[in-house]
Amino acid sequence: MTTTLPPAPGVPYFDWSSRYEGWTDHVLTAVREAAESDEFILKSRVAALEARVAERTGAAHAVAVASGTGALTVILAALGLGPGDEVVTPAFSFISTASTVALRGARPVFADVDYDTACLDLGAAEAAVTGNTRALLPAYLFTTHPDMAGLAELAGRRSLALVEDSAVGLGATVDGLPAGRHGTAGVFSFFPAKPIGGAGDAGMVVTDDDALARDVRMLRNHGQDLNVRFLHHKVGFNARMDEITAAFLLRRLPRLDEFLTVRRELAQEYNDRLAPLAPDLLTPPGGYGDRAVYTYVVRARRREELKEFLAGEGIETVVYYPKPLHLQPAFAHLGHQEGDFPVAERLARECLALPLHPGMRPGAVAQVADAIERFYRGAR
């Protein structure tokens, strides 16, 4: 007699209910608190969150905004970027690193990325600097970060602003300095999938520059004077954070290290299990000790087949990012073509994000690794 085992439960990718398990009451408390205090936008809870992030990063100023994209937007506006200006930024990244530049009327000048970190390559960045370059805008991606010390040296030598897109990097330490603290200004995102996700969109700017911080504060609120209502010094934006979001994030932030520890352990478990599959599958660079693990992204041969195979096993995966920025229709006017940034293009063909978040059920990483092993080794 044969017994049939019940099928293993699937492994969803975003899995919002597990990510936020136990947090529903905190969301409701945050709503009640804000409502009962009669404070809704840019009030005491937002100020408290700014103080906490400044404390955590050691930045002189933290300015809360409505999203990570909003953070980049107000920084680039505060720097006065406009038509004729160029910003060197990676060809492989989330759209915000380039779209926020283009929205200023400035030109995103793409540079290729490093194959192992998927982040802006220092040599390529230097080669892309021209007499019109005003800023470097590198991004942290997945579990990795660019060569921030090298980029800071380049920015200093060429008198460029360095805007650190550490949207996914809150809590990381790079070369002994917290993420966000390596350049003119840094940004964080609290999008729900990030290591500290909010109850919706939210972001933060950090900087040591007093004048920049003041301008960013104005720009997030229509360029309005910081004391006088309806007096507008600049043409600004509505990029304000609300009190409900801040109240919720004030409860989440103290758990950052705990969340990061679990994320690092899960990433290491994947690395340990999957490293032997090289060269069919390459794991992210190990040594997660001081890094912020956001998404766990492998480089896979036969990626589409692997993705489909895993889907058949109930394992959800996501492709970050299927098209490099220079080939996006939104940037067609820049006149790039295939072959311009070969590493970015290769990563767009190979990258695959596996499920990873602190609420994963025990055994889920092993289940994913077993399935990947079966795919490449052909054993069923």
Ligand X SMILES: Cc1ncc(COP(=O)(O)O)c(C=O)c1O
Of 125 and 372, which CB lies nearer to ligand X in the complex structure?
125
Closest by Cα among 206, 169, 248 to 65: 206
- Does residue number 165 form part of the binding site for ligand X (CB under 6 A)? yes
- x/- map, 96-135, ligand X, by CB under 6 A: xx--------------------------------------
201 versus 350: smaller Cβ distance to ligand X: 201
By beta-carbon proximity to ligand X, the closer residue of 170 and 369 is 170
Q: Single out the segment in contact with ligand X by CB under 6 A; choices: 93-101, 218-226, 227-235, 359-367.
A: 93-101
User: Is residue 306 part of the contact set for ligand X (CB under 6 A)?
Assistant: no
| Of 56, 68, 217, 293, the one binding ligand X by CB under 6 A | 68
Contacts of 285 (CB under 8 A, 6+ apart): 116, 117, 143, 144
The DSSP secondary structure of 293-361, one letter per residue, reads: ---EEEEETTHHHHHHHHHHTTB--B-S-SS-GGGSGGGGGG---TTSSHHHHHHHHHEEEEP--TTPP
Say whether residue 139 binds ligand X (CB under 6 A): yes
Which residue has its beta carbon closest to ligand X? 68
Shortest Å distance, C-beta 236 to ligand X: 17
Whole-number Å distance between alpha carbons of 365 and 67 = 30
* Secondary structure (3-state) at 265: helix
CA distances (Å), origin 146, targets 81, 229, 251, 368, 376: 23, 41, 30, 28, 30
**Structure-token pair, residue 370:** 């077993």
Q: Is 75 helix (H, G, I), strand (E, B) or coil?
A: helix
Which of 89/317 has CB closer to ligand X? 89
Q: Is residue 94 close enough to count as binding ligand X by CB under 6 A?
A: yes
Contact between 191 and ligand X per CB under 6 A: yes
Number of residues that bind ligand X (CB under 6 A): 15
> Which spans in 65-164 are helix H?
68-78, 96-102, 122-128, 148-157
Which residue number, 96 or 224, has a Cβ lying nearer to ligand X?
A: 96
Token reading at 340: 């311009």
Q: Which is nearer to ligand X, 93 or 207 (CB)?
A: 93
Closest to ligand X by CB, 70 vs 236, is: 70
Binding mask 225-264 for ligand X (x = CB under 6 A): ----------------------------------------
Q: What would the two tokens of residue 302 be?
A: 């036969």
Q: How far is the C-alpha of 269 from the C-alpha of 116, rounded, in Å?
A: 19
List interacting residues with ligand X (CB under 6 A).
67-69, 93-94, 96-97, 139, 165, 167-168, 189, 191, 201, 203
